[in-house]
């Protein structure tokens, strides 16, 4: 089995081999970045120093907006600028507050954190199932409120992080509604952004999307790879995953569409 470093080397070679297929002229980037953890010592977490470099590059080369701003631009039918970026985090790890939040404030970036509410209230430990982040703790509500007051948005990532397409629709609705209700009760504001657990093709469907619409969600983000969300289904937006092993050059290539071979690989894998 290939090591993480070896896999990353293969991906770099693939990016180099396929980059000529990416049109510099036609690219209209509206990249939604997908993070999980920012931590100085955890193996699978992006390191704070790397995150600082990434946010510096992003804020210098892209117009970085919130997901709510992107939604408004989309529903108004505006001609989107060509270099838009948004920053998101999944699950709700405490290190988002400890290490990411100070840097987000420094760069004036209004990120979105998609929280698994059963993880926040101690009902489940998401790291027991998703072992890459074993040992990381959940955000505390006072930390969430502080970030909210500083412009960080919070969205739903379900209550127990269940794959919605694999459970009965009525259970999926409970997962969606319980998470939304708990967040709205704690935040005292509407929660209308959603991230699908796992988020690949087949983990959500039209029935799940109809549930989001029914319960007042304005958009949904997946983990299907993609840099251009200017015309994608607002309930199936694509994201760019940022990994702990990414160098700053990997990051630049990812956000500029040079790693789009990953989307093709996802389609083959399915």
DSSP 8-state assignment for residue 97: I
Residue 207 lies in a domain: yes
* 18 located within any domain: no
- Please report, for the domain that includes residue 68, its CATH number: 3.20.20.370
Residue among 225, 209, 221 nearest 165 (CA): 209
Which candidate, 68, 67, 39, places its Cα nearest to that of 51?
Answer: 39
Q: Check residue 20 and give its pLDDT.
A: 65
107 in a structural domain: yes
Predicted local confidence at residue 233, as pLDDT: 97
Helix (H, G, I), strand (E, B) or coil at 233: coil
Does residue 189 sit in helix, strand or coil? coil
| Under-70 pLDDT residues of the chain | 1-2, 19-27, 269-270
Three-state DSSP class for residue 176: helix
Domain count, the chain: 1
Within-domain flag for 147: yes
Structure tokens at 206: 């039209």
**pLDDT tens digits, 97-120:** 999 999 999 999 999 999 999 999
At 140 the pLDDT is 98
Domain of 252? 29-90+99-265
Are 98 and 105 in contact by the 8 Å Cβ rule? The answer is no
d(CA 146, CA 121): 17
Q: Is 10 within a domain?
A: no
Place of tokens 């259970």: 171
**Model pLDDT, residue 212:** 98
pLDDT given for residue 25 in this prediction = 39
Q: What is the pTM of this model?
A: 0.95
Of how many residues is the chain composed?
270
Domain for residue 19, yes or no?
no
Element (H, E) at 53: helix 48-61
Beta strands in 15-139 (DSSP E): 29-35, 63-64, 83-91, 112-115
45 within 8 A of 244, measured Cβ to Cβ:
yes
In a domain? residue 205: yes
Half-sphere exposure of 68 (CA within 13 A, CB side): 13
Indicate whether 141 belongs to any domain: yes
């Amino acid at each position: 089995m290939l090591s993480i470093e070896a896999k990353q080397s293969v991906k770099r070679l693939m990016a180099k081999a396929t980059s000529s297929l990416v049109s510099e002229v036609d690219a209209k980037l509206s990249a939604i970045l997908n993070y999980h953890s920012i931590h100085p010592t955890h193996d699978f977490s992006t390191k704070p120093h790397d995150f600082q470099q990434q946010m510096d590059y992003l804020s210098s080369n892209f117009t970085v907006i919130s997901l709510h701003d992107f939604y408004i631009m989309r529903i108004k039918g505006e001609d989107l600028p060509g270099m838009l970026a948004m920053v998101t985090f999944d699950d709700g790890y405490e290190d988002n507050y400890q290490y990411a939040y100070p840097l987000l404030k420094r760069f004036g970036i209004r990120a979105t954190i998609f929280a698994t509410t059963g993880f926040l209230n101690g009902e489940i430990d998401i790291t027991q199932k998703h072992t890459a982040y074993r040992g990381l703790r959940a955000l505390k509500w006072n930390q969430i409120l502080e970030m909210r007051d500083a412009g960080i948005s919070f969205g739903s990532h379900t209550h127990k992080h269940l794959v919605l397409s694999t459970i009965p629709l009525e259970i999926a609705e409970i997962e969606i509604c319980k998470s939304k209700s708990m967040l709205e009760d704690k935040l005292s504001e509407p929660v209308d952004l959603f991230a699908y657990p796992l988020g690949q093709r087949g983990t959500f469907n039209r029935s799940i999307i109809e549930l989001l619409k029914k319960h007042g969600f304005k958009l949904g983000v997946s983990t299907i790879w993609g840099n251009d969300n200017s015309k994608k289904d607002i309930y199936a937006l694509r994201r760019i995953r940022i990994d702990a092993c990414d160098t700053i050059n990997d990051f630049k290539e990812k956000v500029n569409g040079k790693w789009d071979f990953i989307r093709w690989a996802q389609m083959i894998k399915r």
